[in-house]
Amino acid sequence: MKQGPALIIFVSYPNKQFKMAENQYTEENIRSLDWKEHIRLRPGMYIGKLGDGSAADDGIYILVKEVVDNCIDEFVMGNGKKVEIMVKEGMVSIRDYGRGIPLGKVIDCVSQINTGGKYDSKAFKKSVGLNGVGTKAVNALSSHFMVYSVRDGEKKQAEFVKGELVEDHKLTKTDEPNGTYVEFTPDDTIFKKYAFKTAYLEKMIWNYCYLNRGLSIHFNGERFQSKDGLKDLLENNMDGDPLYPIIHLEGEDIEVAFTHGKTYGEDYYSFVNGQHTTQGGTHQSAFRESVAKVIRDFYNKNYEASDIRQSIVAAISVKVIEPVFESQTKTKLGSQEIEPGGKSIRAFVNDFLKEKLDNYLHRNQDVADIIERKIKQSERERKELSGIRKLARERAKKSSLHNKKLRDCKVHLVDLKDERRENSTLFITEGDSASGSITKSRDVATQAVFSLRGKPLNCYGLTKKVVYENEEFNLIQAALDIEEDMDNLRYNKIVIATDADVDGMHIRMLLLTFFLQFFPDLVKRNHVYVLQTPLFRVRNKKKTIYCYSEEERRSAIEELGKNPEITRFKGLGEISPDEFKNFIGEDIRLEPVVLTKDASIETILSYFMGKNTQDRQDFIIDNLRVEKDLAEELATEGSEGFEIAS
């Protein structure tokens, strides 16, 4: 191809003229990438977002899931009842006791794209992974990857670095039982400053156990196993006691469990072929629609669907042949049919509930009576709030315009729902100085700021009426757009940004009380975070180090040497916008708000936000002593270069 002259294009519009950049297009612009290069260049196509481990759907957890999925498929096919997982210092090892990868195909199965046993629909009819990509992505995105397979006394092992085969071991004899072992370390040039959070890994492991009764998973020496499947899931994840015993229904390729609780909203756990579909999909929509229809028909009353589902806690698992997901990370089911050319998922779920749930309600009249009382209670509350809601909406519109509490981000100008969830963040902060610093330093495309006026109300124990009558809470709800449906949430991350002092901690707790009291799904779905900002700046003429802890401060002083300048940041408003860019950009540090399996919302709120108890008084006194000791130490160091930022 003969290279032509460089081309400059002007595009004219009325009263406007835009100049496009020079553009050269030759053979040298065309590249062919091998499988590992493409995965490393475009990891988001294979594992979703990268992240640093602070969110449950960050890439390092997807890497773990991709390997464990293969172990689960072996178990589902009747091979191997135990899986061992170890995570230590950033390295992951996973061992199953299934059939083991065929020894002559070990290397191909982890390094040849679109290679695997799951294309044979007879062998893996309802598999989690279908496209032969998962383990290859783990290999390509790991600085160290080792795999071995054992079959009938023989062992085949191979080692890779960033997807490149570095050692192909010869076949050896072994006494090990059959199965596959995978060991990998995520590449820290791709997953920067990553760290695995045990709570996220344990949640993933529990879900595998709930969906695969009889499977035993050993994680870092602790054993996980479920006896009653989705019933166990609800019992272990509900806040407080259910209003009636959990309804647990099972059929071919479907399992359902649900009850009503005492919290607001709707809480769902949905799964397809063992995959936790955190964003729902056609099966979850079918359940929501069908449970309302069956209950209406049972009582022969046209109750509002929202009243029927208010405070529902439910789990649904279905098996689908050749499922279609909306992304490689499989968080939302897109399939319309239970199998190609077969019954629709909507009809499948509805037929199942129409028979099983209707029969259950007829046989358990006491439960049916409790459900109807709950529906009528929700109906009364909805009607009582209708007038208040109307006034609150009008007030929210006026306030957001006049007070400018919300400085929104530009991503909402484009109607791309998945992209919006993925990239947008709302910082909730207190005071003009703090919100001003964040506003000036934020990424206006994806980061929004909501400014509080003073401390929010302690809403513990109050009804939802307060959400509409309290201006701050009403405006936060309006900004998030979660009044009608949690799926309308406008921001993927809700970040509480308060000063690192007693007042800031109090505001943080008041906001968390609001979310946990009225919108617990925001926390359960891992949308709520706390912004970590540096406590100290340590610098000399050559280098500046920001420190988030005492340990980091000591390390920085040691690194920089004699008499560095040490600044203690007192509040967010005292950090200049130029510096703030360093803390809410690529290197942002977010601490996720995670509910552990053993802590209920009611217990947490009553302890921290209820009437004073001796336990809480003792906790405060003990921690005040720690703060006092730290303050005295810092005051002593002040004579050696310590200063308070102003």
User: Number of H helices and number of E strands within the chain?
Assistant: 21, 26
CATH of domain 230-380: 3.30.230.10
* Residue range(s) of every CATH 3.30.565.10 domain in the chain: 44-220
16 pLDDT above the threshold of 90: no
Is the pLDDT assigned to residue 513 strictly greater than 80? Answer: yes
Compare 83 and 120 and report the one with higher pLDDT: 83
What pLDDT is attached to residue 367?
Answer: 96
pLDDT value at 339 more than 90: no
pLDDT tens profile 622-637: 665 544 454 454 444 4
pLDDT digits (tens, 9 = 90+) for 525-546: 889 999 888 888 899 988 999 8
Rounded to whole angstroms, how far apart are CA atoms 77 and 523? 35
* Tens digits of residue pLDDT in 575-590: 888 888 888 887 788 8
Query: What pLDDT, on the 0 to 100 scale, is given for residue 286?
Result: 93
Q: Which pLDDT tens digit goes with each residue over 453-464?
A: 878 888 888 888
CATH 3.30.230.10 domain residues, the chain: 230-380
Of 499, 574, 582, which Cα lies nearest the Cα of 546? 582
Return the higher-pLDDT residue of 444 and 146.
146
- pLDDT recorded at residue 617: 65
Tell me the C-alpha distance between 104 and 59, whole Å: 30
Query: Does residue 641 carry a pLDDT above 60?
Result: no
Query: Which CATH code is given to the segment(s) 44-220?
Result: 3.30.565.10
Q: Which amino acid is at 204?
A: M
> Mean per-residue pLDDT for 487-515?
87
Q: What is the pLDDT of residue 494?
A: 93
Q: What is the pLDDT of residue 293?
A: 95
pTM of the model: 0.78
Query: Does position 277 have pLDDT exceeding 50, yes or no?
Result: yes
Neighbouring C-alpha atoms within 13 Å toward the C-beta of 212: 32
Residue 164's pLDDT is: 92
CATH 3.40.50.670-classified regions of the chain: 403-533+570-610
Q: Which comes out higher in pLDDT, residue 616 or 96? A: 96
289 and 350 Cβ atoms separated by less than 8 Å: yes
CATH, domain range 403-533+570-610? 3.40.50.670
The fraction of the chain above a pLDDT of 70, given in percent, is 80
- How high is the pLDDT of residue 338? 83
How far is Cα 339 from Cα 352, in angstroms, rounded to an integer?
16
Say what the pLDDT of residue 32 is.
63
The pLDDT value given to residue 114: 60
Q: Is the pLDDT of residue 314 over 90?
A: yes
The pLDDT of residue 84: 97
Integer Cα distance of 576 and 572 in angstroms: 9
Over residues 23-48, the pLDDT tens digits come to 566 666 555 677 788 888 888 888 88
What confidence tens digit (pLDDT) does each residue in 389-437 have? Answer: 777 777 666 665 445 688 888 765 444 455 555 778 999 998 777 788 8
Q: Tokens at residue 84, please?
A: 């061992």
Distance CA 211, CA 204 (A): 11
Per-residue pLDDT at 184 exceeds 90? yes
Higher-pLDDT residue of 133, 137: 137
Least confident of 3-17, 286-300, 463-477, 604-618: 3-17
Q: 239 falls in which pLDDT band (50, 70, 90)?
A: confident
| In the predicted structure, residue 370 carries a pLDDT above the cut 70 | yes
Average pLDDT over the chain, rounded to an integer: 82
pLDDT of the residue at 123: 45
Give the model's pLDDT for residue 14: 41
3-class secondary structure per residue, 551-596 = HHHHHHHHHHCCCCEEEECCCHHHCCHHHHCCCCCCCCEEEECCCC
Please give the share of the chain, as a percent, with pLDDT higher than 90: 39
- The pLDDT, as a whole number, for residue 572 is 82
Least confident of 261-265, 355-359, 621-625, 642-646: 642-646
